[in-house]
Chain A
Amino acid sequence: MSTSTAARPEEPAEQVLDVRDLSVTFRTESGTVSAVDHVDLSLARGEIVGVVGESGCGKSVTAMSLGGLLPGSARVTGSARLHGTELVGASEPVLRKVRGRELAYIFQEPMSSLNPVLSVGRQIAEVLQVHEGLSRKQARARAVELLALVGIPSPATRVDTYPHQLSGGMRQRVMIAMAVACGPQVLVADEPTTALDVTVQAGILEVLRDLRDRLGTSILIITHDLGVIADIADRVVVMYAGRVVERAPVHELFARPRHQYTAGLLAASPTPGRHAGTDRLQEIPGLVPVLSTQPDACTFADRCHAADDLCRGSAPPLEPQGGGGTSAAGHVAACWHPSTETRTLAATNQEPAR
């Protein structure tokens, strides 16, 4: 169960990751920065959850805190359980073991995580030798299988190439192969396609979907692109200035955004072929604030057209959102004056539950 507030009739199969009340602050030269504030988040087996929000909303800090990847200036509180193992405050040896086998990461720029002087096959094989105790020969054979799994053509030859000989998309595939080498339960993908061309992005998203389908991997995908969310996520978490402001199943979120920030983001996203006749995109004025403390207020109030004194004087709690029938199950938003808009999705009649 993800929160105490969300009314969720059917429990999803098996919770793999359960994050509660996660907060992160940084000590900096100019004082404390509150980057993540009481975030609740869950991931079921085989589920793809998308985390979306503008730059600086705390998406990456949330993700990095799970594997203990934040610098020493970070203070993390709350709880993050991966199959019962508490990650917050866990010792480095425990975290290292978790990162190798149960929780894997891929990032925007694969080149920075790959060793330029080792062939891609060696790098994957090394992971397998260390964590799975495979022999060199077994590891190499498995590396070829993994390259095939992530859709790299002629894997038996490509296994001997070096990272710089590969295109950006191929390198990202190699990173994914390495990340899933030990069969992790959770894959955290932080902007995995942001640096790639759209034609290449489509292939990478396909690989991720395929991993989930074939291996049952749970995926937390972080992106600022609502198109990517629409493509791949089962559920969506919207973050703003360190807080979760809305959480919903994907169709529900796009059809009935409730938080004013979510509604604004959707309206600002250009969609090819959808806007013939209109000549303006909707804007969200202003910027994501950098907060030193979390105020008792809606932190979006400065940018929100619906803000009033209530919003400025007290923080809205995450509350269940009705109105969408059964598809609204698990839909929560933290907004005093939620949007009532219903957006027409293409052929809404195809939507499974209305």
Chain B
Amino acid sequence: MTDQTPALELEDLTMHYGPVRAVDGVSFAIRPGQVTALVGESGSGKSTVGRCVVRLVEPTAGTVRIAGTDITHLSRRVLRKHRDDVSIVFQDPAGSLDPRMLVGDVVGEPLRIGARRLPRKERDRRVAEELGRVGLRPAVARRYPHELSGGQRQRVSIARALISSPTLLIADEPTSALDVSVQAAVLNLLADLQRDIGFACLFITHDLSAVEYLADEIAVMYLGQLVEMGSRERIFARPRHPYTQALLAAAPVADPVEQRSRTRVLLGDDLPSALDPPSGCRFRTRCPLAFDRCATEVPPPIPVGDGYAACHLVRPDGTGPDVRVSSGHEVGA
């Protein structure tokens, strides 16, 4: 597994919508068969990263490599050849499935055109197989998306995404619109499929609790940049960036005893604008530990275990403070 070409490699990916710096120099790689969770709050730019990878938007700068091929500079025509390598599943299955198409045609569409084109009969067989794999009855193929529940629709999107046997799946908040019981089923399904098929996955989410079952690695994004990266075990056990720590502290746990005894870390509500991000460390306007240098110097990534954290307070040996134990810090309120 070690010296393989990454399934996805981002180098200095930058995406500016006019003056809005949605993504500002993001670099990371996903090995074949690996699941990386990209975690951040609304407006952090995480979905834009996913959109750049499937070229729904043209990045302003930087490179996206899929299985070693730089796709950022490919023409649309050549790109089509590589398109089957990457699939995407969106948050809102209702909005991403064509309401006038039968489920069977939605799922089979990737096999109707392009390199993986199959004749009708063969295609129908593959659709039935794929529906079975995501836990739907073959009869569902003859229904319309609006006749299905949210969880069933999300299964349909997953079946469609996987029918072309992609090497990389982008899942953009695939369970955020679902009830917990249904969310559990969809997360289990994704985890099972990933283990069985072995595709690499970029799992984009605002919900740290949803990634624990799936992710090998976690990348934390704030205002267009990665602030911390590491193995799932390390991020949960020893988060080093104050923002990661705050995110973990803020996600409520379904245990009243534990929840009520936790140190509260309140960040204040005012997320700075991506139009004019703060100087130095972008998190400094909400960081409980910010000090002078944070306004003037951009914190470099400091190696922590197998990853890094970009904070001035992380020491060269990878240790650092934790906002969750120094209570009483409150900023902006």
Contacts and interface: CB of A to CB of B under 8 A. Distances in A.
B257 A198 contact: no
Contact of A251 (B149, B253, B257, B261): B257
B184 A268 contact: yes
User: Most chain-A CB neighbours within 10 Å: which of B191, B213, B256?
Assistant: B256
A202 interface: yes
Interface of A: 54-55, 151, 153, 167-170, 173, 197-203, 205-206, 224-231, 250-251, 254, 264-266, 268-276, 279-285, 287, 345-348, 350-351
A348 B255 CA distance: 10
Interface residues of B, number: 49
A234 to B, nearest CB: 10
Given A198-B206, A279-B191, A271 B184 contact: no
A271 B188 contact: no
Interface string B201-239: 000001111101100000000000000000001001000
A198 B251 contact: yes
Nearest to A197: B41
A146 B181 CA distance: 39
Nearest to B270: A167
A108 B181 CA distance: 21
Nearest first, the 9 closest Cβ-Cβ pairs linking A and B are A227-B252, A169-B269, A346-B258, A284-B181, A281-B184, A197-B41, A226-B254, A198-B250, A268-B184
Contacts of A153: 268, 270, 332-333
A268 to B, nearest CB: 4
20 contacts: A169-B269, A198-B206, A198-B251, A199-B41, A202-B264, A203-B333, A206-B266, A228-B252, A231-B259, A264-B181, A266-B254, A268-B183, A273-B212, A273-B248, A276-B233, A281-B213, A283-B181, A283-B188, A345-B258, A346-B255
A274 B253 contact: yes
A200 to B, nearest CB: 5
A226 B251 CA distance: 11
Given A254-B255, A272-B212, A206 B264 contact: yes
B180 interface: yes
A268 B175 CA distance: 13
A348 B257 contact: yes
A100 B280 CA distance: 47
Interface in B181-199: 181, 183-185, 187-188, 191
Contacts of B333: 151, 153, 203
A232 to B, nearest CB: 9
Interface string B27-48: 0000000000000011000000
Interface in B264-319: 264-271, 286
User: Most chain-A CB neighbours within 10 Å: which of B183, B268, B332?
Assistant: B268
Given A226-B180, A347-B261, A275 B212 contact: yes
B98 interface: no
A227 B255 CA distance: 7
B84 to A, nearest CB: 29
B179 interface: yes
B42 A272 contact: no
A200 B254 contact: no
Nearest to B266: A203
A228 B180 CA distance: 13
Nearest to A266: B254
B246 interface: yes
A283 B259 contact: no
Contact of B256 (A55, A173, A230): A230
Nearest to A288: B179
B256 A281 contact: no
Contacts of A268: 180-181, 183-184
Nearest to A269: B254
